[in-house]
């Protein structure tokens, strides 16, 4: 065993898939990848997420009181990274990436129909926690593509895992997304 820096907890514990957080205020929308999240209650069904206070996502969620967690697969890898290195303050990510969306059932943010599932949530509480607020949300509605999920993720669901920096894991493969920087122009469709 060796000692490593305390900050390493982040990359060591992030073993669940990257989500796309959809939020909205008025007619403005943004999407941000999310890895700092966890379930916190079964009944009522609740989860928690930790957000940078400077992000548009945090601002929109605080104002609107709702959000959607979309579950992307590897077809959206470039879109995921693009959303992580740009702020909704500077670019309309959804239209730049040609993502298809629909109205949510129970909340105001947009459902990302390119994703395998969308989990609609209403904010329950916002707590102060170190340098990032912790938001808890109650799950109100879930829609899922049944070709990829049947009581559990099926093997054909190629979920995306984050390794830190520009690196991701999909299946057994490590993928570097360094080419997706500000200025990146996506192909016609992602």
Ligand X SMILES: Cc1cc2nc3c(=O)[nH]c(=O)nc-3n(C[C@H](O)[C@H](O)[C@H](O)COP(=O)(O)O)c2cc1C
- The nearest distance, CB 111 to ligand X, in angstroms, is 17
- The nearest distance, CB 3 to ligand X, in angstroms, is 26
Complex with ligand X: residue 55 or 101, whichever CB lies closer: 55
* Near ligand X in 50-109, by CB under 6 A: 50-52, 55-57, 81, 84, 86-89
* Near ligand X in 155-174, by CB under 6 A: 162
CA distance 142 to 118: 6
What residue is closest to ligand X based on CB?
84
CA distance 122 to 135: 10
Only segment of 33-41, 71-79, 143-151, 178-186 that touches ligand X (CB under 6 A): 33-41
CA distance 52 to 44: 26
- The nearest distance, CB 124 to ligand X, in angstroms, is 18
Q: Structure tokens of 186?
A: 């996506």
**Bond before 44 cis per omega within 30 degrees:** yes
Distances (CA, A) of 19 to 39, 77, 100, 108: 13, 11, 16, 18
Can residue 17 be called a binding residue for ligand X (CB under 6 A)?
Answer: no
């Amino acid at each position: 065993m060796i000692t490593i820096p305390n900050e390493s907890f982040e990359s060591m514990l992030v073993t669940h898939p990257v989500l796309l957080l959809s939020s909205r205020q008025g007619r403005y929308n943004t999407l941000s990848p999310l890895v700092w999240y966890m379930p916190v209650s079964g009944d009522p069904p609740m989860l928690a997420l930790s957000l940078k206070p400077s992000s548009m996502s945090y601002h929109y969620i605080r104002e609107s009181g709702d959000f959607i967690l979309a579950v992307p697969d590897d077809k959206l890898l470039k879109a995921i990274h693009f959303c992580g290195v740009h702020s909704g303050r500077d670019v309309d990510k959804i239209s730049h990436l040609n993502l298809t969306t629909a109205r949510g059932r129970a909340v105001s943010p947009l459902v990302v129909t390119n994703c395998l599932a969308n989990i609609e949530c209403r904010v329950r509480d916002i707590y102060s926690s170190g340098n990032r607020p912790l938001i808890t949300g109650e799950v109100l509605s879930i829609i899922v593509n049944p070709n990829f999920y049947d009581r559990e993720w099926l093997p054909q669901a190629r979920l995306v895992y984050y390794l830190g920096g520009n690196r991701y894991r999909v299946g057994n493969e490590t993928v570097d997304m360094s080419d997706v920087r500000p200025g990146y122009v996506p192909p016609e469709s992602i």
